[in-house]
Structures are given as C-alpha cells and as structure tokens.
A and B are shown apart, each in its own frame.
Chain A
Amino acid sequence: MSQPAQTPFVESLLTAELPATGKGLAWLDASRREHLAAFVAAGLPDTRMEAWKYTALRALGQRRFLVGDAQAAMRPVDPASLVLPGVDGLQLVFVNGAFRADLSRIDSLPAGLSLQPLSQALERDAESLRFALTRPYREAGDAFARLNAALAADGVVLQVAAGTKITPPISMIFVGAAAEADLSWHVRNVIELGEGAELNLVEQHVASGEPSHLGTVVTDIVLRDDARLQHSVLQNAAEASTLIRRGSLQLSARAQASLHVLELGGALVRHDLQAELIGDQARLDTRGVFVLRGRQHVDTQLAIRHQARNTASESIWRGVADQRARGVFRGAIVVAEGADGSDANLSNKNLLLSAQAEIDTKPELEIYADEVKAAHGATIGQLDERAMFYLRSRGIPLAEARGILTAAFCRSVFESLPGEALREHVSTALIAHLP
C-alpha cells in the first residue's frame, strides 16, 4: 500500500508519547495506538476532500509540534483573563490541555452533578468512559478527531443526573499559554444530561502570552429525553494559534439544546458541529458568528441531522471578515426518512469589510421525509454606505461607526444568549476585535 509522503507535521508525531493519563488501561492504550496509526497513515486532509475544500492545511503540514506541555502546571495565567461577567460559579481550567486545579473551582458540587477532569475520571472510573473514548472515526476528513483520540490527556467529564437542574453557568476554560516551543495539546470532553436534566455551560478559549500552538478539542454531548442545554462558546484564542474543535451533539425525545458561538481569535480555526436529533420533538437552536481580521482563517462546518418526527432546528450564523481574512461556512441539514413533520431553518449572512476579505458559504438541505418545513438562505454583502454616512454625520468616527453597524449585523445571533451582562460583554468584545 502506498503511503502519502509524510509531512513534517506527521513526522513530529511519529515519536510522540501517548498521554500519561489513563496509561496502562489496555483498552485505552490500544485505542490510542490505533487512532495514532490511522492518523499517521492518512496524514492531514487536503482540499480535494469536500469538507476541507476551502481550508488548506499545507502550511500546517510543514510545521512541527511537541505533544503536550510538561510545564503546563507552571505557566503563568492571569486569573482576571478568565473572568466573564455573570459567570462566577463552578469552573474547570486547562492550560495547554492540562487541568489546573489552582485556577479551577470544583468543590462543593450540588447534588446530581458530577464534574471532574478526565485525568481524574480515568483513575476513578475509567470503564464508564470506555464507550465514549473508543469511538471510531471512519471519515477521511476525521484526521484531527483521530489525533485527539490518540493524544487527549485531559478534558471535562460532566454528568447531570436525571431531573437535576443546574442553573448557574458552569465554565470550562481552555488556555493556550506561550511556551518555549510550538506545542500541540488535545482535550476531550464528555458531557451527559440525564432525563429532564438542565445545564448552562459556558466554554471559553483564551490566550496567555502569544503562543502559536495547535489545540484540538473534541466534545461529545448527549441529551436524554426532556433534557435542556444552554451552551455558549467564546473563542478568543491567541492570534497565531491553530484551534480545531469538533462537537457532537445527540438529542433524544423532547430534548432542547441552544448553542451560541462567538469566534474571534486564532490564525487558523476549524469548528465542526455534528448534531443528531434522534428523538421525537427534539429541538436545536444554533447561533454563531465569526468576526475576522488580519489573515485569520475560520471555517465553520455545521451538520444537523433530523432523524425523528416533529424535530426542529433553527440556525442563525453570521460572518464578518475584514482586511485579508477568510471565512468559510457550511451548513448541511439532513431531514432523514421518517423524520416527518420536522422543521429546519438555516440563515447565514456575511459581511465583507474589505475588498481583500473573502467568505465562502454553502448551505445545503437534503430532505427525505414528508410534511417538512425547511428554509435556508445565505448572503454576502457590504456595510450600507448610507448608514455609515448617517452615523458619521452625527459625529461618530469611521471606525466606531463600522463597529456599531457590524455589531448590529450580528445582533440576531446574541439576542437569545442567556445573561444580559454576557450579551453586553460579547457585543463589546466583537466591536473591539475589529481593526
């Protein structure tokens, strides 16, 4: 069998040691080795693959990364950089992929909530994670998921027991911290909401210093019948970093999930979300926006599968690109056979703030069921010149006027974000990110 020539990226992983966490568990060792071997054999995806058509990884392939960070416990992190308004409860912090107890708050958990870092969970009850951690990845484009399965040393393991409602937000924070070399760190989150359980989850990606690491984050979330999840993601990773996130979300009958995503940071960012509505009347709302500048490249891939009757999904995504930035959005909705009476909506609008910026959008809709209501639309445009002049004629300087109009353009994404203080914070962060 002929193998593709190994890139420096792949080469640098050949000699990688598997994570120390969970080492010695035969099934985990085997799974990690298999995933690493599969990654090495296939290498990085290339643009001939549909899912990677607009995101070239050639430059990444030429780079080398050390796996993990032996010094993670020592990296300085400003605790103030982790604070979000209205979010001050339980919190797990990972620095370059390693759990930092000193920055976290997981004492005194309410009844019905189980929350711990993966490294601990593997020591206490590895067997319960076996199913999640040995999940196969068969698609050609799954390279980073395989890499993550092989190398993830830590992450969040969270379970909400049936009927338990956790109202104050729980925060998981991933910090990329500057190090002596470029690192790759890998985080795996396993989250489950029992029947009728409720959870408000806030996920943050922040930087300490100016690292140019590669981070991969794989998050599996399962919602049992009638469970409800609010999941808000604020991605403000280091300017030079590469961040690959992949989420899978499974909703059982009458379960409801609401996702909000703000992408601001990173040089190369990829976000895959694969959602399956497997129970009748499950509902998923996704809202997201990327605001890009410089030479940032952010690729969002949304795949929503309606597999049961009377399920609903509404997706509102916005993209803003300035300077020479490049944004990619793909929203694929499938209403499978038998998912009759389902309702699927997807709106993707984009704003180009400079002639050199580029956004590619591709909404896709496949329907195999009856009595389905489905709509999708995508647009790419520029700021309204008349509105710009109106604002400026009232004394608002050019840059501020652009900020105000851009925030207004993105507003529909955050109207439903839980917490007024957080909404305001997001709007301010968004405007501040514009050059």
Chain B
Amino acid sequence: MLKIENLHARVEGKDILKGLSLTVNPGEVHAIMGPNGAGKSTLGNVLSGRDGYEVTEGSVMFQGRDLLALEPEERAAAGVFLAFQYPVEIPGVNNTYFLRAALNAQRKQRGEVELDSMQFLKLVREKLKVMQISDELLHRAVNEGFSGGEKKRNEIFQMAVLEPTLAILDETDSGLDIDALKQVAQGVNALRSADRSFLVITHYQRLLDYIEPDFVHVLADGRIVESGDKTLAHKLEEHGYAWVAEHDPALAGART
C-alpha cells in the first residue's frame, strides 16, 4: 500500500529525513517512535504534502501512485489522512459544513456522487455513535474553543467520516490525559480493518498499550534504526532512546 524508499527531506534548509525506508501493507498498524527532533512529525507532514518540506531524494509510492507528485487535497482524495498534532482552529467555519465540504470534495475528485445534506447527516450520526462523541461538537466552529481532548477526538471523528486507506496519527496522544487517550484509542481501534493501514507516530509507548501495533520502528536522526514487533516499544520504555543509540554504532557516531 505504502512504500517509502530512501526518503530525504529538508525543512528551512536543514536536512531532517536522511534515507528513511518503510513499507506498509493493507491492514497493518505501524508505530513510529523516536526522540524529539528525530523527524517523526516531518514524516507525517511530508506524506500529507505540507508546504515548506522539500524532498531532496527518494520516493513514496501509495497504491502504485507517486504520492509526492500530488497536491495535499489529491492525497486526501486518494485516501491519505493526517491526524494533526496541533489541529487548527478555524473560526467562522462550522464543523459540519467543513466536514461535508471535505467529504464531497473527495468524492468529487474520485468521480463519486456527492452526498446531499440528509445523506450526510445520516452518515455523521452513525459515526458519532461509533466514536461516542456528542453532536454538540458538530454545531461549533472547527476546533474553536475545543479542549485538547476534544480537538484530538474531532480529528479521529473526521477520520471516521472520511474513511481513509492510510491514516497517519501525528502524536495524537500528546497533551491527553489517560481518559481522553483511551477514548481516542477506542475510536482508532473501531476503525481498524483489513484494508485500512495506520502510521502511529508517537514519542511515548503509552498510546501503544491501547492501539496495539503490528510493527514498531525507531526513528532516529532521520532514519529508521530499529524495527520489531510491539515488544520493541516496551524495551524502549524501559531503556530509553539512548539504548537504541548504544545499540547502533553508526547512530552513536552521528549523535553526539
């Protein structure tokens, strides 16, 4: 589904990703862990097409298409979804209106029939039930005045409505208390399916107690330096990221 090969990217003239390779198959959940500054968020931003991230080398293929050649809205229509680390507040734009515009824009790009407001409302009600979100959120402006937990839940709710094939969760656990974390994780788990893949970017192992990954990768200095199953996350939790550095002499040299 997703094949990243030797990806190099820079931000403001500074090299952040330095040869990252990763393959994600349908239905798999991959966790990307790593210390601050390793390039975790850069990976999410590059994949979703944010301005200011320059890819200098390598390739990203998504379902056989060159993902990097697509505009952000085209990537979304192709099935890529980024749950933001810091969801943006958009005063004056109603949450429901926004979500319907997004869904219909995607459907239009895919050559599908747009949903009218009745059909859309029906879909939204179903998803609200699954996500256990009160419909009060729908009547407010996008993320405006939302608590940290509400913002993250709203991201997951959008994901439920837009039904992407690849969901990238960028530090979705940051700033959440344990209850909010559980709710978000429940929402994500409800969306797991055989043809939907997840890239869960996180600093802490905590989130992975609730969203169980198939693979865990350690990102350090712009590359994946260690991969394994979910037990790798526990090792990291015990030993810290320094353990990876000791483990990988090349990296130890690079990071002083």
Interface positions, chain B 64-93, Cβ under 8 Å from A, are 71-73, 75-77, 81-82, 84, 87-88, 90-93
Bound complex: CA A326 to CA B106 (Å): 34
A390 pairs with B87, CB closer than 8 A: yes
A residues near B81, Cβ cutoff 8 Å: 393
Bound complex: CA A411 to CA B91 (Å): 10
* Partner-binding segment picked from A105-113, A187-195, A398-406: A398-406
Chain B 225-239: CB-based contact to A (< 8 A → 1; otherwise 0): 000000000000000
Known interface pairs A395-B109, A400-B101, A409-B92; A389-B50 also in contact (CB < 8 Å): yes
B105 pairs with A393, CB closer than 8 A: no
A390 pairs with B90, CB closer than 8 A: yes
Query: Which among B51, B91, B102 is the interface contact of A396 at CB below 8 angstroms?
Result: B102
A408 pairs with B92, CB closer than 8 A: yes
B77 pairs with A395, CB closer than 8 A: yes
**Counting CB contacts under 8 A, is A48 at the interface?**
no
Interface positions, chain A 387-427, Cβ under 8 Å from B, are 387, 389-398, 400-401, 404-405, 407-409, 411-412
User: Closest B-chain residue to A411, C-beta based?
Assistant: B92
Max count, chain B CB within 10 A of own CB: residue among A392, A395, A407: A395
**Counting CB contacts under 8 A, is B167 at the interface?**
no
Max count, chain B CB within 10 A of own CB: residue among A389, A394, A412: A394
**Counting CB contacts under 8 A, is B162 at the interface?**
yes
**Counting CB contacts under 8 A, is B103 at the interface?**
yes
A residues near B87, Cβ cutoff 8 Å: 390
Chain B 206-217: CB-based contact to A (< 8 A → 1; otherwise 0): 000000000000
A180 CB to closest chain B CB, in angstroms? 43
Bound complex: CA A387 to CA B91 (Å): 10
A390 pairs with B73, CB closer than 8 A: no
Chain A 364-393: CB-based contact to B (< 8 A → 1; otherwise 0): 000000000000000000001111011111
Max count, chain A CB within 10 A of own CB: residue among B81, B93, B99, B103: B93
Report, as a range, how many residues of chain A touch the other chain.
20 to 34
**Counting CB contacts under 8 A, is B158 at the interface?**
yes
A residues near B172, Cβ cutoff 8 Å: none
B71 CB to closest chain A CB, in angstroms? 7
Known interface pairs A394-B102, A394-B162; A408-B91 also in contact (CB < 8 Å): yes
Interface positions, chain B 99-143, Cβ under 8 Å from A, are 99, 101-103, 105-106, 109, 142
B residues near A409, Cβ cutoff 8 Å: 92
A residues near B197, Cβ cutoff 8 Å: none
Bound complex: CA A386 to CA B98 (Å): 15
**Counting CB contacts under 8 A, is B49 at the interface?**
yes
B101 pairs with A386, CB closer than 8 A: no
Known interface pairs A397-B73, A404-B93, A408-B92; A391-B51 also in contact (CB < 8 Å): no
A121 CB to closest chain B CB, in angstroms? 43
Interface positions, chain A 91-147, Cβ under 8 Å from B, are none
B residues near A387, Cβ cutoff 8 Å: 88, 90
**Counting CB contacts under 8 A, is B96 at the interface?**
no
Max count, chain A CB within 10 A of own CB: residue among B81, B98, B99, B106: B98
Bound complex: CA A268 to CA B191 (Å): 55
Chain A 163-177: CB-based contact to B (< 8 A → 1; otherwise 0): 000000000000000
B residues near A386, Cβ cutoff 8 Å: 88
A405 pairs with B76, CB closer than 8 A: no
Known interface pairs A387-B88, A390-B87, A408-B91; A397-B105 also in contact (CB < 8 Å): yes
**Counting CB contacts under 8 A, is B48 at the interface?**
yes
A164 CB to closest chain B CB, in angstroms? 37
B101 pairs with A389, CB closer than 8 A: no
A residues near B105, Cβ cutoff 8 Å: 394-397, 400
Max count, chain B CB within 10 A of own CB: residue among A390, A401, A408: A390
B97 CB to closest chain A CB, in angstroms? 8
B84 pairs with A390, CB closer than 8 A: yes
B55 CB to closest chain A CB, in angstroms? 17
A residues near B99, Cβ cutoff 8 Å: 394
A395 pairs with B103, CB closer than 8 A: yes
B182 CB to closest chain A CB, in angstroms? 25
User: Closest A-chain residue to B103, C-beta based?
Assistant: A395
Query: Which among A397, A398, A405 is the interface contact of B90 at CB below 8 angstroms?
Result: A405
A residues near B82, Cβ cutoff 8 Å: 393
User: Closest A-chain residue to B45, C-beta based?
Assistant: A389
User: Closest B-chain residue to A389, C-beta based?
Assistant: B50
User: Closest B-chain residue to A410, C-beta based?
Assistant: B92
A residues near B71, Cβ cutoff 8 Å: 392, 397-398
Bound complex: CA A397 to CA B102 (Å): 9
B231 CB to closest chain A CB, in angstroms? 33
**B interface list, Cβ under 8 A from A:** 48-51, 71-73, 75-77, 81-82, 84, 87-88, 90-93, 98-99, 101-103, 105-106, 109, 142, 158, 162
Subset of 15 A-B contacts with CB under 8 Å: A389-B50, A391-B90, A393-B82, A393-B84, A394-B73, A394-B76, A394-B98, A394-B162, A395-B77, A395-B102, A395-B103, A395-B105, A396-B101, A405-B90, A411-B92
A393-B50, A396-B102 given. 17 additional CB < 8 A pairs? A384-B88, A390-B84, A390-B142, A391-B90, A391-B102, A394-B102, A394-B158, A395-B73, A395-B109, A395-B162, A397-B73, A404-B93, A405-B90, A407-B92, A408-B90, A408-B92, A411-B92
